[in-house]
Amino acid sequence: MVDPRGMCRKHLLGEHNEIHMFVGTLRAKTSVGGYIKKGLLEIHRLEERHIELAQELKHRGYQHESPLNFTSRNPKFEFRGYVDARRSYADLHTRCATCKARFKRILGKGKSWIQLRKQVNDIFSVAVWKAYTNTVMEKSVL
């Protein structure tokens, strides 16, 4: 998933809204299988992702008054879905010049695109490992 610090206002608010919509869909017991198959949704990370987005919204001075009231720690949501973060970055930067510029400005800090790509790859490696170890830890606790 894309680092919220590098997202433009429109995409930050849009993804926040989508999380609330997915939670509503799950509560209504409507299938989200298509989103999972297309690599657009990680049910097990909805709660964590909402927190990340809410923190960035507050950091930018926006009001955040929409708690999620959902826990993805339910065993039936265990490691459901996978979002390819590299593809998400590439798609977003192709579609949104504002996000691309913001990402470069906020996270790049004068680095070349090659250096920045290496940093992003390192971040993804750590994020994937963190997601894996958190899942393994949760399984051992349950």
Cα 77 to Cα 74: distance, rounded to the nearest angstrom: 6
Give 129 or 3, the one with higher predicted confidence.
Answer: 3
Mean pLDDT of 108-123: 62
Report the range out of 21-30, 63-72, 133-142 with the highest average pLDDT: 21-30
Look at residue 38 and tell me whether its pLDDT is greater than 60: yes
Cα 49 to Cα 31: distance, rounded to the nearest angstrom: 20
Cβ-contact 49, 19 below 8 angstroms: yes
Report the range out of 14-23, 99-108, 121-130 with the highest average pLDDT: 14-23
Give 129 or 17, the one with higher predicted confidence.
Answer: 17
pLDDT in tens, 69-99: 887 666 566 557 888 888 888 889 899 999 9
Cβ-contact 135, 44 below 8 angstroms: yes
**Domain residues of the chain, as ranges?**
4-141
- What's the confidence (pLDDT) of residue 117? 62
Give 10 or 3, the one with higher predicted confidence.
Answer: 10
Look at residue 132 and tell me whether its pLDDT is greater than 50: no
